[in-house]
Structure 1
Amino acid sequence: MANGQGQGYGGAGGYGAAPRQNPYGQAPYGPNPYAQPVPPPQPYPQQHPHPQQQPYPPQPYPPRQPQPVPPQQAHPAARQPYAAAQFGAPPHPGAGRPGGFPGPAPRRNRLAVLLQFLLQWIYAPLWVLALVLLFVVLILADYNGGGPSSDGWLKVNRGFIPPRRLRAELTGRPEDWERYATPVLARRIAAAEAAYAAGDGEVQADLGRVVTAGLALRLYRGLGADGVVRLAERYGWHGVASGTDAGHVRLARHFPAPAGLDVPAPQDPPAAPGTPWGPQPVRFAPLLPFVFLLQIVYVPVYGLLTCWVNRPEPDYWDRWGARWTVGPRAFRAEFTGSPAAWDRHIRRILKRDTDRIRAATRTPDGGPVSRIHLKRATYRGAGAHQALRLAAEQGWSLDPAYTPDPANSLRLHRLDRP
């Protein structure tokens, strides 16, 4: 039985037949631009529709054909930063180390080290004897000071290998060099810090001071400058660029300016005798002539002895040597004990130091900041407070970059130019 379409049940166009995909795409109706596309059964649809037959909305994530990209040849210099960032720059000496300090130096020949160690016990005493004879000849020949500009040939210890360093030289291992260089570095740092406590160091803009120390290459050859800097950081020091001097490693430490100092002002009442800022006990006057004569022999002997003594204070002479000597200018003031004589002596020393600063800088005012150092022998009978009062009359005041030590010395400064 027909169903009005010319087909029966189960026919090609009847009930139960497969639905037509696009009835509007057949003649005589023509294409329908508003028709929604029916998903095709295959998973890869055709991707070339007519512009007027573009489906709305487009299919999500349509597959794209990879487009060939022509290779671009970049300049080697333009690719260098990227290559360095990806793979790192080529290694060079000092690269990758903190501060760019070089690593271990090339090892010396073992045979040469052994020969030097064995022969030094013969040539070192002969070297010292030759130097003694040379000085005697120079003295007898009325030596006028000419000669070589460097005194390196006087340093016998530079060509001497101590037994403690022999192991490090032969093995070349960094741990052996570190074992040898650590106590040497500790002594150098202790000496530099003792020099700072005695007033050494370069004053900075923040009134702090920087002290420096150094080691020669022969003392850390197998450890390297970077290893020495690493050891120095344990003591609070840091490395400093040595510039063109590759035979040494430079170390420095910045000490801040002292704070919270309790010092008297020049206008304060005079300090009591016996106190650090007051007059110090003077020596027995009748003994001063004998002290003055004996020091002619005592001072040279003392100087020779102190050259071989490992003392912790670099200002050892200011602290101890001056206690047993008397200068010709301070003789009258100390012999008479007159306050007026002490005042004249202090003013004379202040004028001498001021003139010396002006002569050194060749300017009338001496420079932006001038600094002088008064020794204990200058104001022994008058006191440090009286010396500070007389110095204030000429514009001098206590230097804030130093910790006051009135019992031994006074450090003064003056702002000569704004």
Structure 2
Amino acid sequence: MANGQGHGGTGGYGAPPQDSYGPAPYGQNPYAGQNPYAQPVPPPQAYQPQQPYPAQQAHPAPQPYPAPPSQPAPRPPHPAARFGAPPASGPGGPGGFPGPAPRRNRLAVLLQFLLQWIYAPLWVLGLVLLFVVLILADYSGGGPSSDGWLKVNRGFIPPRRLRAELTGRPEHWERYVAPVLERRIAAAEASYAAGGGEVQPDLGRVVGVRLALRLYRGLGAAGVVRLAESRGWHGVASGTDAGHVRLARHFPAPATLNAPSPHDPPAAPGTPWGPQPVRFAPLLPFVLLLQIVYAPVYGLLTCWVKRPEPDYWDRWGARWTVGPRAFRAEFTNSPAAWDRHIRRILERDSNRTRPTTTRTPDGTLALRIHLKRATYRGAGAHQALRIAAAQGWTLDPAYTPDPANSLRLTRPAAPTQP
């Protein structure tokens, strides 16, 4: 089968650049260097030597009035104030986070710990039988909420929490909560590194963590916030939700955007911005058929098992699945087919019923889309950037470019879009 890629020849993505988008409207690469939306770093202050202490007078001049007391310097605002969260001024204090909750009855805790080894397996078995019955009965109604009785672990007391429940001492609760909090924070920061988080008007991103009351009952929300602040996080007001404590962290916009310009020569094949190797074409029909079986099974397993990589589905799917839209482009490996596929995905994402829009620093609405690796595998991220630039898209300054896995783009939203 002929390969239409043609790297290094007179056609394809390895050829010299074709001026298909006209002359460059700017003289330098807008994607390299300093991010205009990044927070400025204050210059280091020069060292000022202290003045020599004046010689002490033998008879100091008398002071007719005592010197007025110096006013304390104003304290800088708490970092949580910019997100509408009150500072943790103390347990139960004004504007602070609540302290420890009332202790549970020791006898009830012991009974729950002993009986859970009996009812927890029966609980799981009942859920499995229920789902089997629903599948065999071809049930099409709304399923039960996964936030309710489906979570068996919510009624389970692990042995490491039993001591904290029985003693009620804050130091025992802190030993239990600290590892849980570290895992939640690590997962949230991994989500940020994979492109998660809510984009803010300053193009920084905020990620959050929520802990249930059963995990910190004897420590209190104030104690959890204190542990989080030592890791660079802060507490957020939970409002009427007294059963959880909310934490957040603000990450500024990346300082630099190291990426080629759409008018630069095409990136070489095999480089992060260049075309990537495609899969063996005769195997693609079998992959397309077999993924109907193993893709749903994998998706069901990932609902119960948390992976440290939040974008693992996108990366795994780009390697072991093929979409119906990308099948022809990857099967023929033709530059024209890849270009058509990229333009089709751009048009689909631009015309969504509910597009992703956020405010920019100047107050305008910006439309944001996310191109996955499978969209431009054989064409390369640089070619996708060239096609998107012709439609007004640019690299999103709120994200660090990751061309080997995804491409995040933005452009001003149309006036008719919400």
TM-score range normalised by the length of the shorter chain: 0.7 to 0.9
Following TM superposition, by how much is the alpha carbon of 1:133 offset from its aligned partner in structure 2, in angstroms?
1.3
Tell me the secondary structure at the aligned position of residue 262 of structure 1. coil
- Tell whether the 8 Å contact from 1:391 to 1:397 is kept in structure 2 after alignment: yes
| 2:272 is aligned with 1:280 | no
Q: For 2:150, which of 145, 149, 154 is the aligned residue?
A: 154
- Tell whether the 8 Å contact from 1:357 to 1:370 is kept in structure 2 after alignment: no
- The alignment yields a C-alpha RMSD, in angstroms, of 2.0
Following TM superposition, by how much is the alpha carbon of 1:151 offset from its aligned partner in structure 2, in angstroms?
3.8
Closer, same or farther: CA 255–275 of 1 in aligned 2, 3 Å: same
Q: For 2:327, which of 310, 328, 331 is the aligned residue?
A: 331
Q: What is the match of residue 296 of structure 2?
A: 300
Q: For 1:412, which of 397, 409, 414 is the aligned residue?
A: 409
Normalised to the residue count of structure 1, the TM-score between the two structures is 0.73
- Tell whether the 8 Å contact from 2:393 to 2:410 is kept in structure 1 after alignment: yes
Provide the rounded CA distance (Å) in 2 between the counterparts of 1:357 and 1:257. 28
CA displacement, residues 330-388 of structure 1 (integer Å, 9 cap, x when unaligned): 11111111100000000111111111155788xxxxx8111111000000000001111
Provide the rounded CA distance (Å) in 2 between the counterparts of 1:353 and 1:145. 30
Q: For 1:368, which of 356, 365, 368 is the aligned residue?
A: 365
Provide the rounded CA distance (Å) in 1 between the counterparts of 2:403 and 2:175. 42
Provide the rounded CA distance (Å) in 1 between the counterparts of 2:253 and 2:324. 36
Provide the rounded CA distance (Å) in 1 between the counterparts of 2:356 and 2:268. 37
1:378-393 correspondence runs (5 A): 378-393=375-390
CA displacement, residues 45-92 of structure 1 (integer Å, 9 cap, x when unaligned): xxxxxxxxxxxxxxxxxxxxxxxxxxxxxxxxxxxxxxxxxxxxxxxx
Provide the rounded CA distance (Å) in 2 between the counterparts of 1:191 and 1:383. 30
- Tell whether the 8 Å contact from 2:92 to 2:99 is kept in structure 1 after alignment: no
Tell me the secondary structure at the aligned position of residue 370 of structure 1. strand
Q: For 1:178, which of 174, 192, 204 is the aligned residue?
A: 174
- Could you tell me which amino acid in structure 2 is paired with residue 144 of structure 1? S
Report the count of equivalent residues: 321
- Could you tell me which amino acid in structure 1 is paired with residue 403 of structure 2? P
Provide the rounded CA distance (Å) in 2 between the counterparts of 1:198 and 1:377. 17
Higher normalized contact order (CA 8 Å, seq sep 6+, divided by chain length): 2
Q: What is the match of residue 26 of structure 1?
A: none
- Tell whether the 8 Å contact from 2:349 to 2:355 is kept in structure 1 after alignment: no
Tell me the secondary structure at the aligned position of residue 313 of structure 1. coil
Tell me the secondary structure at the aligned position of residue 408 of structure 2. strand
- Tell whether the 8 Å contact from 2:356 to 2:367 is kept in structure 1 after alignment: no
Q: What is the match of residue 100 of structure 1?
A: 96
- Tell whether the 8 Å contact from 1:388 to 1:397 is kept in structure 2 after alignment: yes
- Could you tell me which amino acid in structure 1 is paired with residue 215 of structure 2? L
Following TM superposition, by how much is the alpha carbon of 1:325 offset from its aligned partner in structure 2, in angstroms?
1.3
Provide the rounded CA distance (Å) in 1 between the counterparts of 2:289 and 2:144. 37
Q: For 1:242, which of 216, 235, 238 is the aligned residue?
A: 238
Q: What is the match of residue 401 of structure 1?
A: 398
Provide the rounded CA distance (Å) in 2 between the counterparts of 1:283 and 1:156. 42
Following TM superposition, by how much is the alpha carbon of 1:149 offset from its aligned partner in structure 2, in angstroms?
5.7
Residue ranges of structure 2 left out of the alignment (5+ in a row): 1-89, 358-363
1:107-186 correspondence runs (5 A): 107-146=103-142, 151-186=147-182
Larger radius of gyration: 1
1:182-201 correspondence runs (5 A): 182-201=178-197
Provide the rounded CA distance (Å) in 2 between the counterparts of 1:95 and 1:156. 32
| 2:217 is aligned with 1:221 | yes
- Could you tell me which amino acid in structure 1 is paired with residue 335 of structure 2? P
Tell me the secondary structure at the aligned position of residue 115 of structure 2. helix
Provide the rounded CA distance (Å) in 2 between the counterparts of 1:381 and 1:148. 43
- Could you tell me which amino acid in structure 2 is paired with residue 247 of structure 1? G
Closer, same or farther: CA 95–301 of 1 in aligned 2, 3 Å: closer
- Tell whether the 8 Å contact from 2:100 to 2:221 is kept in structure 1 after alignment: yes
* Runs of 4+ residues over 6 Å off in structure 1: none
CA displacement, residues 207-232 of structure 1 (integer Å, 9 cap, x when unaligned): 10000001000000000000000000
- Could you tell me which amino acid in structure 2 is paired with residue 414 of structure 1? R
- Could you tell me which amino acid in structure 2 is paired with residue 187 of structure 1? R
Provide the rounded CA distance (Å) in 2 between the counterparts of 1:256 and 1:360. 20
Residue ranges of structure 1 left out of the alignment (5+ in a row): 1-92, 362-366
- Could you tell me which amino acid in structure 2 is paired with residue 211 of structure 1? V
Provide the rounded CA distance (Å) in 1 between the counterparts of 2:302 and 2:145. 26
Provide the rounded CA distance (Å) in 2 between the counterparts of 1:154 and 1:162. 18
Tell me the secondary structure at the aligned position of residue 161 of structure 1. coil
CA displacement, residues 254-302 of structure 1 (integer Å, 9 cap, x when unaligned): 0010012211111111111111001001111112122222222221333
Tell me the secondary structure at the aligned position of residue 153 of structure 1. coil
Q: What is the match of residue 85 of structure 1?
A: none
Q: What is the match of residue 352 of structure 2?
A: 356
| 2:325 is aligned with 1:341 | no
Following TM superposition, by how much is the alpha carbon of 1:309 offset from its aligned partner in structure 2, in angstroms?
4.7
Tell me the secondary structure at the aligned position of residue 112 of structure 2. helix
Q: For 2:374, which of 373, 377, 389 is the aligned residue?
A: 377
Tell me the secondary structure at the aligned position of residue 230 of structure 1. helix
Normalised to the residue count of structure 2, the TM-score between the two structures is 0.73
Q: Report percent identity of matched pairs.
A: 86
- Could you tell me which amino acid in structure 1 is paired with residue 190 of structure 2? A
Provide the rounded CA distance (Å) in 2 between the counterparts of 1:249 and 1:196. 20
Provide the rounded CA distance (Å) in 2 between the counterparts of 1:325 and 1:115. 49
Closer, same or farther: CA 400–314 of 1 in aligned 2, 3 Å: same
Provide the rounded CA distance (Å) in 2 between the counterparts of 1:295 and 1:95. 54
- Tell whether the 8 Å contact from 2:356 to 2:368 is kept in structure 1 after alignment: no
Provide the rounded CA distance (Å) in 1 between the counterparts of 2:354 and 2:127. 39
- Could you tell me which amino acid in structure 1 is paired with residue 263 of structure 2? Q
